[in-house]
Structure 1
Amino acid sequence: MKTRTLFALAWIATLTPAIAADQLSRPNILVIYTDDQSHRTVGCYTEAYPWVKTPNIDRLAKEGVRFVSGYCGTWCAPSRAMFLTGLQPHAIRGLKFAKNPHSTYDPAVCRFWPAALRKAGYRTAQIGKWHLSTDAGHGRDWDHSVVWFHSDPKAAGGYYRNQKLSFDGGPLTAVGGYSTDNYTRYALDFIRRPHDKPWLLWLCYDAVHSPYLPAERHQSRYTANEPVPTPADIFPPRPTKPAYMHRYGVWSPGPDGVPVNSKNRALPDVVRQYNRAVLGLDEGVGRLLDTLEQTGQLASTLVVFTSDQGFAWGQHGFEWKVAPYDANLRAPFIVRLPGRAAAGKVCRHPVAMLDLIPTIFALAGTPPPWPLHGHDLSPLLKNPDAPWPHPVMLEFFGHRFGEETDRALTGNDGLGGVPWWLSLRQGRHKYIRTLVESEIEELYDLESDPEELTNLALVPEHRATLKDFRARLIAELKRTNAGLIKNLPEPK
């Protein structure tokens, strides 16, 4: 008996390294996906205000790779559609905006990649904000779901409080409390469950979307003593930018000269409130990491922290996203996975949210269900200074997807005063093409001009670079089979 017991113990001991290796080869995947969060709200980013404190998100950066220039989408639903399909908006078929709900899609045409991971042996879960119709895909894409249907405002309830949630595809249930804390709690419940297979959790916080409501415990943080500088081009005319930028602006000088928005709120006040709402997110990240550690899953879990896009506070006149500038769009982008991602490293190559999807499939050891538009980030996770020849292309088509982006433009396309545009970032330069006939192009050197104030497209000495980036954009459109190439308006 004793001999058999010792043999059994020895046999189990030989299995332990194999189990650990298998966990590493097919890691759990936690994607923390916030809403309208600028990279300037995270303390480890050099552009953050010096008074911003996010110790738990900063911990992720200390233990993983922080991407300086991470680009996700251009706004809301399109960003989420890009994440779920791994495709640029021009290639997403079967998804349309509507009145109520705000968007609809045909799941037979517009397929989401979590279903493929589910078939490959992952347990999949989505918790939080859902922005694509009232079909959240429970039982098709997700084994577990706690959904706030933002796309159906009549049934959603409040943005931060008194929400109506659907649990595992069930009827809407009124839930009290602060939504950021609620989503964290539901995520912790999922992480603590007994798991006999690796899991994917897409955790979609609705913070820090307007009305930027912080938790009551954070109301007194960031007082009037914290300075908020006024951006250089908060007021028009901005003559070196496209025509719509000559007049665009929601800010005006207040009685004391401090800019105020359309609600007569001073710029420093709303910026401080916005950053207060980030504090609940940061606490949630801390609780998630602690729980992963307590349950023995931290070493075998890929953790990604990012947002659907950034948000501008006065830069170029905006209090919004959608515009093609870094102040509007750049989001925090941090990846942690021991053994696969370097710890405490910074990557300066521009990367895209679309690059996360092939990375996830590579780490999961399963092929993607269709050709993806992004590129596997694994080389940069191992060595952030490794060569990276891939550009980042972004598209803004307002409320349009797929074949609806192929048509000739009418001159009235866009959203909120911002026309359709395309951009391409590679290395230190960014090229912007506003899709309006005879409009000027834009070219910025983001190393010498991070605020994008000097349009090099108008400088004769930079004509060769402009021509080069114009061609790179066309090449990327062709690579991703964009039908709109045939209807691109000619620039000035």
Structure 2
Amino acid sequence: GKWHLSSDPQGFDHWQILPGQGQYYNPDFKTVEGRKRIDGHCTDLVTDMALDWLKNREDSDKPFMLMCQHKAPHRTWMPALRHLSLYNDSKIPEPPTLFDRWKDNASPARHQEMEVDGHLNIVYDLFGPPVNGWDPNKGRSVDKSGFRNLMKMTPAQLAAWKAGFSDQNAKLVRDGLTGKKFVRWKYQRYIRNYLRCVKGVDESVGRLMEYLKSSGLEKNTIVIYSSDQGFYLGDHGWYDKRWMYDESMKMPLIVRWPGVTRPGSINTELVQNLDYAETFLEVAGVKVPDDMQGRSLVPLLKGESPRWRDSLYYHYFEFPSYHMVAKHYGIRTSRYKLIRFYQFDEWELYDLKKDPDELKNLYGKPKYADTIAELKQELENLRTRYRDNSDVSVMPAEWQKKYRVDRN
């Protein structure tokens, strides 16, 4: 499935990966034999490949590790044809911050390109009609990959795809929605397509779990479900990811380990994807190299209570780039989050217990001076621990001014 690294997989007995982000319909796959197009929907195809390998693997009596990695629900959201009408009769609840204007955030939140309102493209992202002065080339964050994927569909696929949206698109043109009504329409199209893609992943997990059960592998196979990051589903008026705010910093992690991890148990320790490789190694009985930066989750999965980390480090590096999210680094504890947008020399502090939506910036409040000082010290400790020596200089005023033009 999805690999999204410049190198090919190393150390695997077998692999079939999507080039780059891959495509939802009739995607190409890279293998050791070369590149090959396979017709169908990407989520189904990756699942088929995983099941085929499971059923026909050599040395079937030996332990194995299988990674089944989906493109869905990555932008641009193109669900399987059988799911196009799913949720048509449902109005998906809007997040309370859909119309957030970031009044109390540092300035980077107001100067980005990831708003459902101004940047989620009605044609390229949502497959809607070119209404409200649509500009095909507005902004640096336009993604035409999904629109190009339509050209790769078979005639039957394309006809079914267009039929799935034609009535709703025609109604939008007739209704002439603008302002918040138009934003709400965009949100509903976005979230429905997103959830339709997730439905395909849900079915994939079900197929894999059913095979483990029917084959007798269920009782001695560890299943780990996760993702590469969280995602904004209209929260703060955004789509995409990148920020250190919890909607994108958090990610799912569900583990089924028969006989070891108690079903239904919940662990609230601060874990991160840096811990995954160490966990896999310990489970396999392999010594974890000293230079790896994470910690094995095995003790937590066993229900033990080891001394664990008190904070997480985060650093986003890409600016100026897609979605124009400013570079920032920070620290998150169970209670507080401190973020520094260093190129603009701006800080944010949030009390996650009192303000889980991160709407009230407490940085600079005298009441929190001691907390800020402690967090700054721990932040520097983490930068040292992870050997992050990247340049975090404040940029000159003229440079800052260039990126403070309204990008809507």
TM-score range normalised by the length of the shorter chain? 0.7 to 0.9
Matched, 1:333 2:205: no
Aligned partner (choices 476, 483, 486) of residue 389 of structure 2: 483
Who is 1:170 aligned against?
A: 33
2 CA distance for matches of 1:413 and 1:252?
A: 21
Matched, 1:141 2:61: no
Q: Secondary structure at the match of 1:338?
A: coil
Aligned length: 334
Matched, 1:278 2:198: yes
Aligned partner (choices 221, 229, 232) of residue 309 of structure 1: 229
Who is 1:26 aligned against?
A: none
Who is 1:188 aligned against?
A: 51
2 CA distance for matches of 1:257 and 1:363?
A: 51
Give the partner amino acid of 2:348.
Answer: E
Matched, 1:222 2:87: yes
Who is 1:23 aligned against?
A: none
Considering Cα pairs closer than 8 Å and 6+ residues apart, tell me whether 1 or 2 has the greater RCO.
Answer: 1
Who is 1:258 aligned against?
A: 181
Contact (CA 8 Å) 1:347, 1:385: kept in 2 or not? no
Q: Which runs of 4+ in 1 moved over 6 A?
A: none
Who is 1:460 aligned against?
A: 366
Give the partner amino acid of 1:129.
Answer: K
- The CA deviation at 1:232 is 2.4
Contact (CA 8 Å) 2:311, 2:331: kept in 1 or not? yes
Aligned partner (choices 375, 391, 398) of residue 469 of structure 1: 375
Q: Secondary structure at the match of 1:334?
A: strand
- The CA deviation at 1:348 is 1.9
1 CA distance for matches of 2:298 and 2:194?
A: 33
Aligned partner (choices 115, 118, 132) of residue 5 of structure 2: 132
Contact (CA 8 Å) 1:346, 1:384: kept in 2 or not? no
RMSD: 2.4
Q: Secondary structure at the match of 1:452?
A: coil
Give the partner amino acid of 1:219.
Answer: L
CA deviation digits over 1:358-414, x for unaligned, max 9?
11111111113452111121222122776533422121112xxxxxxxxxxxxx655
Give the partner amino acid of 1:242.
Answer: A
- The CA deviation at 1:295 is 2.0
2 CA distance for matches of 1:462 and 1:301?
A: 48
2 CA distance for matches of 1:170 and 1:292?
A: 29
Contact (CA 8 Å) 2:3, 2:17: kept in 1 or not? yes
Give the partner amino acid of 2:201.
Answer: L
Q: Secondary structure at the match of 1:466?
A: helix
Aligned partner (choices 441, 444, 448) of residue 350 of structure 2: 444
- Say if 1:363 and 1:259 are closer, same or farther in 2 by CA, change over 3 A: farther
- Say if 1:258 and 1:230 are closer, same or farther in 2 by CA, change over 3 A: farther
Q: Secondary structure at the match of 2:345?
A: coil
Identical columns (%): 31
- The CA deviation at 1:329 is 3.3
1 CA distance for matches of 2:304 and 2:97?
A: 32
Give the partner amino acid of 1:258.
Answer: K
Who is 2:148 aligned against?
A: none
Structure 1 residues not aligned, in runs of 5+: 1-127, 399-411
- Say if 1:226 and 1:437 are closer, same or farther in 2 by CA, change over 3 A: closer
- The CA deviation at 1:286 is 0.9
CA deviation digits over 1:255-293, x for unaligned, max 9?
3633529xxx52122112211110111111111111112
Contact (CA 8 Å) 1:347, 1:384: kept in 2 or not? no
Give the partner amino acid of 2:91.
Answer: E
Q: Secondary structure at the match of 1:346?
A: coil
Report matched runs for 1:380-391 at 5 Å: 380-383=300-303, 388-391=308-311
Report matched runs for 1:257-406 at 5 Å: 257-258=180-181, 260=183, 266-369=186-289, 371-383=291-303, 388-398=308-318
Contact (CA 8 Å) 2:18, 2:30: kept in 1 or not? yes
- Say if 1:230 and 1:389 are closer, same or farther in 2 by CA, change over 3 A: closer
Give the partner amino acid of 1:144.
Answer: H
Who is 2:330 aligned against?
A: 423
- Say if 1:414 and 1:270 are closer, same or farther in 2 by CA, change over 3 A: closer
1 CA distance for matches of 2:105 and 2:258?
A: 44
Matched, 1:232 2:155: no
CA deviation digits over 1:131-159, x for unaligned, max 9?
112x313xx421100111126xxxx6xx1
Structure 2 residues not aligned, in runs of 5+: 119-176, 396-408
Contact (CA 8 Å) 1:432, 1:442: kept in 2 or not? yes
1 CA distance for matches of 2:336 and 2:265?
A: 23
Give the partner amino acid of 2:330.
Answer: S
Q: Secondary structure at the match of 2:38?
A: strand
